Structure 1
Amino acid sequence: MPTTVLGVVIFVGLLLPGYLYERRRERDIPQRTRSPLRETMSVLFVGVSADVVTGLILALAWSTLPVRAPDLAALLRTPREYLIAGPWLVVGWAAAGLAFACLSAYLVAARPWHRWLRRRTRFGKLLRHAEPQQSSWWLLLREHPDLPKYVGCYLDDGSYVAGRLHSFSRVSDETADRDLSLRHDPEHPLVYRPKGADQTYPLTNIGAVAISARRIVLLTVTYREAPPPVSTESAKFPAQATPTAQE
């Protein structure tokens, strides 16, 4: 571990891009249990890679553009004296380099070009189904991220509840400890059908509900801009819209 202020700054500069990469990447992949060593190595590798690429880009800019740049040779020979003589030049370039490295790592994790490829190119279907071995829970609820999802749940006691998807657990393990939440939608409110009933009832004055995965027997997901309201017939069998996926 670093024992000086400069060492701490360098240590943070090495790890911060990798940390941002991991945090952003977690939003698009199922949650997995990883060993501390593997997670540390991932953060360190991405951080160092982003810093090295940023350093090469800055060196190219210093050699080709008419800008005032630090003297790296003098900085490496006598870092203390050089920093005292011109601290703002070094600090400014270091801050700009760190910001660029963090932004680069974040964009690599976000992969905006991946979304464009999925929508606009012939490889979109291949990319959407590139990892079919993932959890079906994750694949169904993450499919078509730009479309609202209308979810219907048949519960183990024979009842039925449906509504607009609000959130769901990112745990990739197929366990019953996961849950999802449905929220009220102005056009399609939360509805509930008790066991043995033939008609669904809106859940008035309720903004959202949480449902445990251990209670779900059948899960339907509808990907549409405006799925039709759930009627009595759709309560018997949730064929309210297509395409419908089942788990």
Structure 2
Amino acid sequence: MPTTITGLALLVVLLLPGLTFVIIRERKGSERRPTPFRETGAVVFCSVLTELAALVIFAALRGLRPDLTPDIGRLVREGATYARAHYAELAWWAGGLLLLACVLAAVTAVVTGGRPHASVMSAWWVMFEKWFPGENPLVGCILEDGSYIEGRLASFNVSSDDSPERDLVLVEPLKYRAPGAPETHDFPWGAACISARRIVSMFVSYPLGPEQEAEAEATQASAPVAS
């Protein structure tokens, strides 16, 4: 860890774009747990690339409009003397380039943040996000005591691990069947939270898309009417 203000500032400059990239990638997909080495490498690698890209853009702007940019040659030759005389300009440009690197990292995360392969994700993620993302499916769960609960999916834990230490939230219309009961009845509550540890089996029904609805209506219309 840095022990001086200068070292801390350099650490922030080095890691901030990469941290931006990692945070946005996590928001766009399921939560995965890479090794500390791999996660640190991704942060540093992305930071270095985006900051180099920002410096290339600065160099191009310097070549086109040198009157708008700090004189890097004088900064190198004169050092602190030039920095004290132009500290405000240098601070604005340094902050702007860091912000540009963060924006580049964010854009890269959005562009490259494709859907992860199902082999590294949980079964819940495959059922709720991979096949029909955003469809608000109907979910039915058989619990370990033999009871059954059904409702619309509201949220689920997006961890890539199939761990029992996670929850599933279902919302109305809820249906429930007590252990040993023959029928399922409407459950007069707005939402239910179910622990994965208690779930034995899960069933998912997806809403029909426009084409499927049209096909179902056509099939029903063409079906013979019983006399």
Letter in 1 for 2:54: T
Match of 1:139 among 111, 120, 126: 126
Match of 2:41 in 1: 41
| In 1: Cα distance, 2:51 partner to 2:201 partner | 48
Equivalent in the alignment of 1:91: 91
Q: Distance in 1 between matches of 2:78 and 2:155?
A: 54
Q: Structure 1 pair 217/63, CA: closer, same or farther in 2 (3 Å)?
A: same
Task: Indicate yes or no: 2:185 matched with 1:197.
Answer: no
CA separation of 1:146 and 1:176: change in aligned 2, threshold 3 A? closer
Indicate the SS of the match to 1:141.
helix
Shift, 1:194, TM fit: 1.7
Amino acid at match of 1:210: C
1:214 CA drift (Å)? 2.2
Give the C-alpha shift of residue 99 in structure 1.
1.4
What secondary structure is seen at the aligned counterpart in 2 of 1:211? strand
Give the structure with the larger helix fraction: 2
Cα deviation digits, residues 128-176 of structure 1 (max 9, x gap): 7x72313322211223333323222122222221222222223322332
Confirm or deny: 8 A CA contact 1:147 1:225 kept in the other structure.
no
Counterpart position of 2:58: 58
Report the residue type matching 1:196 in the other structure.
G
Report what 1:241 is aligned to: none
Deviation at 1:47? Answer: 1.1
- 1:136 and 1:12, CA in 2 relative to 1: closer, same or farther beyond 3 A? same
1:170 aligns with 2:158: yes
Which residues of structure 2 form unaligned runs of 5+? 210-227
Alignment of 1:102-113 (within 5 A): 102-111=102-111
Q: Is the 8 A contact 1:148 1:225 kept in 2?
A: no
1:191 is displaced (CA, Å) by: 2.1
Identity of aligned residues (%): 39
Q: Deviations over 1:76-99 (max 9, x none)?
A: 334422221112211111222111
Query: Where does residue 213 of structure 2 map in the other structure?
Result: none
Per-residue deviation at 1:43?
1.1
* Alpha-carbon distance in structure 1 between the residues aligned to 2:174 and 2:79: 64
Per-residue CA distance 1:219-246 (angstroms, 9 max, x = gap): 22233379xxxxxxxxxxxxxxxxxxxx
Q: Give 2:146's match in structure 1, choosing from 134, 158, 172.
A: 158
1:208 aligns with 2:194: no
Residues 136 and 154, structure 2, Cα contact 8 Å, conserved in 1? no
Answer yes or no: is the 8 Å Cα contact 1:176–1:214 preserved in 2: yes
Aligned partner of 1:233 in structure 2 is none
**Contiguous gaps of at least 5 residues in structure 1:** 115-127, 227-247
How big is the shift at 1:56?
A: 0.8
Residue matched to 1:119:
none
| Shift in alpha-carbon separation, 1:198–1:85, aligned structure 2, 3 A | same
Give the TM-score taking structure 2 as reference length: 0.78
CA distance 1:161–1:54, change in 2 (3 Å) = same
**Relative contact order, CA 8 A, sep 6+: which one is greater?**
2
Aligned residue identity for 2:174: L
Partner of 1:73: 73
SS at match of 2:205: strand
Q: Secondary structure at the match of 1:26?
A: helix
Amino acid at match of 1:101: A
- The one-letter code of the counterpart of 1:194 is A
